[in-house]
Chains A and B, each alone.
Chain A
Amino acid sequence: MSVIVDLRDVAKEFPLGKTTVHALRGVSLSIQKGEFVAIAGPSGSGKTTMLNQIGCVDVPTRGEVFIDGQSTSALSERALTRLRLRKLGFIFQSFNLVGVLDVAQNVELPLLLQGNLTRKERDMRVAEMIEKVDLTPQSTQRPNELSGGQRQRVAIARALVTRPSIVMADEPTANLDTDTGNRILEVMRTLNKKEGTTFIFSTHDHRVMEHARRLVTLVDGLIATDAPHGSEAIA
Chain B
Amino acid sequence: MNPIAGFGLLLRMALRSLWSHKVKSLIVGSLMAFGTTLVVTGTALLDSIQSAMSRSIIHSLAGHLQVYSSEAEDELSIYGGGMMSGNEVGQIPNFSKVKSVIAAVPNVKAVVPMGIQLANMSRGSDLDRAFSQLREAHRRGDATVAPRLVPRIKRLLSLLESELINREAVSSPEVKKTVTAQLVDVRRVMNAAFWTEYDTDPLTALDFLDTRIAPLGGEGRLMYLRYVGTDLDSFSSNFDRFQLVEGEMVPKGARGLLINQRFAESRLKLTAARLLDDLEEGRQQGVPISGTPNLESKARRLATLAGSITILLEPKDAKTIEAQLAALITPLGPATDAGKTQRFEDLKTGTQFTVKRKTSPDLEAYDANLDRLLTAFLTMDDTTLQWRAQFFYEVLGKKIDLYPFETGDVVTIRAFTKRGYIKAVNVKVWGKFVFKGLERSELSGAANLLDLMTFRDLYGQMTEAQREELSQIQAEAGAQDVARENAEDLFFGGDEETETSETETTGFSEFAGVNLKRQRRATVDERRFQQDELEGGMAINAAILLEDDSMLAETQAAVQKAVDAAGLKLRVIDHERASGLIGQLAMLIRGILYVAIFIIFAVALVIINNSMVMATLERVREIGTLRAIGAQKRFVMAMFMLETLTLGLVTGGIGAALGAGIITIINRVGIPATNDIMVFAFSGPRLRPDFTADHIFVAVGIIMVVTLLATYYPARIATRIQPIEAMRGAD
A residues with CB within 8 A of B = 48, 51-52, 55, 57-58, 77-78, 81-82, 84-86, 89-90, 92-94, 96, 98-101, 105, 109-110, 112-116, 119, 122, 158-159, 170, 174-175
Pick the contact of B12 from A89, A101, A158 — CB < 8 Å?
A101
- The answer to whether A57 and B731 touch across the interface, beta carbons within 8 angstroms, is no
CA separation between A86 and B635, bound complex, in Å? 16
State the Cβ distance, A56 to closest chain B Cβ, in Å: 8
Central interface residue in B5, B20, B626, B630, by most chain A CB within 10 Å:
B630
Q: Using Cβ atoms and an 8 Å threshold, which residues of chain A touch B621?
A: 94, 96
- The answer to whether B630 and A82 touch across the interface, beta carbons within 8 angstroms, is yes
CA separation between A169 and B310, bound complex, in Å? 111
Pick the contact of A90 from B2, B6, B629, B632 — CB < 8 Å?
B629
Q: A81-B627, A92-B625 are in contact. Are A113 and B635 (CB under 8 A)?
A: yes
State the Cβ distance, B320 to closest chain A Cβ, in Å: 94
A-B contact sample (11 more), CB < 8 A, given A85-B631, A114-B630, A115-B5: A77-B633, A85-B629, A96-B621, A96-B625, A99-B20, A100-B17, A109-B9, A110-B630, A113-B1, A115-B3, A158-B629
- The answer to whether A101 and B630 touch across the interface, beta carbons within 8 angstroms, is no
Sorted nearest first, the 4 A-B pairs with minimum C-beta distance are A85-B630, A100-B16, A115-B2, A115-B1
State the Cβ distance, A134 to closest chain B Cβ, in Å: 22
In the complex, B705 has a CB within 8 A of chain A: no
In the complex, B13 has a CB within 8 A of chain A: yes
- The answer to whether A112 and B9 touch across the interface, beta carbons within 8 angstroms, is yes
Interface mask (B716-731 → A, CB under 8 Å = 1, otherwise 0): 0000001110110111
Residue of A nearest to B3 (CB): A115
Question: Can you show 9 pairs from A to B with CB atoms below 8 A apart?
Answer: A57-B628, A84-B628, A84-B630, A93-B727, A94-B729, A94-B730, A110-B629, A112-B9, A113-B6
- The answer to whether A98 and B13 touch across the interface, beta carbons within 8 angstroms, is yes
State the Cβ distance, B459 to closest chain A Cβ, in Å: 79
CA separation between A156 and B9, bound complex, in Å? 20
Residue of A nearest to B632 (CB): A81
Pick the contact of A98 from B6, B626, B627 — CB < 8 Å?
B626
Q: Using Cβ atoms and an 8 Å threshold, which residues of chain A touch B731?
A: 94
Q: Using Cβ atoms and an 8 Å threshold, which residues of chain B touch A122?
A: 5
In the complex, B622 has a CB within 8 A of chain A: yes
B residues with CB within 8 A of A = 1-3, 5-6, 9, 12-13, 16-17, 20, 621-622, 624-633, 635, 722-724, 726-727, 729-731
CA separation between A13 and B631, bound complex, in Å? 27
Q: Using Cβ atoms and an 8 Å threshold, which residues of chain A touch B631?
A: 81, 85, 113
CA separation between A86 and B632, bound complex, in Å? 13
Q: Using Cβ atoms and an 8 Å threshold, which residues of chain B touch A112?
A: 1-2, 5-6, 9
- The answer to whether A86 and B630 touch across the interface, beta carbons within 8 angstroms, is yes
CA separation between A170 and B621, bound complex, in Å? 15
CA separation between A100 and B635, bound complex, in Å? 16
State the Cβ distance, A13 to closest chain B Cβ, in Å: 15
State the Cβ distance, B106 to closest chain A Cβ, in Å: 56
Q: A81-B630, A90-B628, A113-B629 are in contact. Are A96 and B726 (CB under 8 A)?
A: yes
Q: Using Cβ atoms and an 8 Å threshold, which residues of chain B touch A51?
A: 727
- The answer to whether A92 and B1 touch across the interface, beta carbons within 8 angstroms, is no
Q: A57-B726, A99-B20, A112-B1 are in contact. Are A105 and B12 (CB under 8 A)?
A: yes
CA separation between A8 and B626, bound complex, in Å? 28
CA separation between A67 and B621, bound complex, in Å? 25
Q: Using Cβ atoms and an 8 Å threshold, which residues of chain A touch B635?
A: 113
CA separation between A77 and B13, bound complex, in Å? 24
CA separation between A48 and B3, bound complex, in Å? 34
State the Cβ distance, B268 to closest chain A Cβ, in Å: 77
Q: Using Cβ atoms and an 8 Å threshold, which residues of chain A touch B726?
A: 57, 90, 92, 96
Q: Using Cβ atoms and an 8 Å threshold, which residues of chain A touch B16?
A: 100-101
Q: Using Cβ atoms and an 8 Å threshold, which residues of chain A touch B9?
A: 105, 109, 112
Q: A86-B630, A109-B9 are in contact. Are A57 and B724 (CB under 8 A)?
A: yes
State the Cβ distance, A73 to closest chain B Cβ, in Å: 17
Q: Using Cβ atoms and an 8 Å threshold, which residues of chain A touch B633?
A: 77
CA separation between A101 and B626, bound complex, in Å? 13
Q: Using Cβ atoms and an 8 Å threshold, which residues of chain A touch B13?
A: 98, 100-101
State the Cβ distance, A78 to closest chain B Cβ, in Å: 6
State the Cβ distance, A107 to closest chain B Cβ, in Å: 11
CA separation between A77 and B720, bound complex, in Å? 11
Q: Using Cβ atoms and an 8 Å threshold, which residues of chain B touch A48?
A: 727
Q: Using Cβ atoms and an 8 Å threshold, which residues of chain A touch B629?
A: 84-85, 89-90, 109-110, 113, 158-159
CA separation between A77 and B722, bound complex, in Å? 10
Central interface residue in A96, A114, A159, by most chain B CB within 10 Å:
A96
Central interface residue in A55, A84, A100, A119, by most chain B CB within 10 Å:
A100
Q: Using Cβ atoms and an 8 Å threshold, which residues of chain B touch A90?
A: 625, 628-629, 726
Residue of A nearest to B21 (CB): A100
Q: Using Cβ atoms and an 8 Å threshold, which residues of chain A touch B5?
A: 112, 115, 119, 122
State the Cβ distance, B724 to closest chain A Cβ, in Å: 5
CA separation between A52 and B727, bound complex, in Å? 8
Q: A112-B6, A112-B9 are in contact. Are A175 and B628 (CB under 8 A)?
A: no
Q: Using Cβ atoms and an 8 Å threshold, which residues of chain A touch B630?
A: 81-82, 84-86, 110, 113-114
- The answer to whether B20 and A57 touch across the interface, beta carbons within 8 angstroms, is no
State the Cβ distance, B22 to closest chain A Cβ, in Å: 13
CA separation between A78 and B634, bound complex, in Å? 10
Q: Using Cβ atoms and an 8 Å threshold, which residues of chain A touch B722?
A: 57
State the Cβ distance, B478 to closest chain A Cβ, in Å: 106
Residue of B nearest to A58 (CB): B724
Residue of A nearest to B725 (CB): A57
CA separation between A112 and B630, bound complex, in Å? 10
Residue of A nearest to B723 (CB): A57
Q: Using Cβ atoms and an 8 Å threshold, which residues of chain B touch A113?
A: 1, 6, 629-631, 635
State the Cβ distance, B64 to closest chain A Cβ, in Å: 58
Residue of A nearest to B19 (CB): A100
Q: Using Cβ atoms and an 8 Å threshold, which residues of chain B touch A55?
A: 628
CA separation between A112 and B626, bound complex, in Å? 12
Q: A78-B632, A90-B629, A114-B1 are in contact. Are A84 and B6 (CB under 8 A)?
A: no
- The answer to whether A99 and B2 touch across the interface, beta carbons within 8 angstroms, is no
Q: Using Cβ atoms and an 8 Å threshold, which residues of chain A touch B12?
A: 100-101, 105
Pick the contact of B622 from A85, A99, A170 — CB < 8 Å?
A99
State the Cβ distance, A88 to closest chain B Cβ, in Å: 8
- The answer to whether A100 and B625 touch across the interface, beta carbons within 8 angstroms, is no
Q: Using Cβ atoms and an 8 Å threshold, which residues of chain A touch B730?
A: 93-94, 174-175
Residue of A nearest to B5 (CB): A112
State the Cβ distance, B718 to closest chain A Cβ, in Å: 14
CA separation between A16 and B671, bound complex, in Å? 70
State the Cβ distance, A177 to closest chain B Cβ, in Å: 15
Q: Using Cβ atoms and an 8 Å threshold, which residues of chain B touch A82?
A: 630, 632
Q: Using Cβ atoms and an 8 Å threshold, which residues of chain B touch A159?
A: 629
- The answer to whether B727 and A98 touch across the interface, beta carbons within 8 angstroms, is no
CA separation between A201 and B622, bound complex, in Å? 21
Residue of A nearest to B635 (CB): A113
Residue of A nearest to B625 (CB): A96
State the Cβ distance, B626 to closest chain A Cβ, in Å: 7
CA separation between A49 and B216, bound complex, in Å? 114
CA separation between A105 and B3, bound complex, in Å? 17
Q: Using Cβ atoms and an 8 Å threshold, which residues of chain A touch B628?
A: 55, 57, 84, 90
State the Cβ distance, B557 to closest chain A Cβ, in Å: 51
- The answer to whether B727 and A92 touch across the interface, beta carbons within 8 angstroms, is yes
State the Cβ distance, A108 to closest chain B Cβ, in Å: 8
CA separation between A93 and B730, bound complex, in Å? 7
- The answer to whether B622 and A96 touch across the interface, beta carbons within 8 angstroms, is yes
CA separation between A75 and B730, bound complex, in Å? 29
Residue of B nearest to A170 (CB): B727
CA separation between A175 and B731, bound complex, in Å? 10
CA separation between A114 and B630, bound complex, in Å? 8
CA separation between A174 and B622, bound complex, in Å? 19
Q: Using Cβ atoms and an 8 Å threshold, which residues of chain B touch A96?
A: 621-622, 624-625, 726
State the Cβ distance, A176 to closest chain B Cβ, in Å: 12
CA separation between A99 and B618, bound complex, in Å? 12
CA separation between A119 and B632, bound complex, in Å? 21
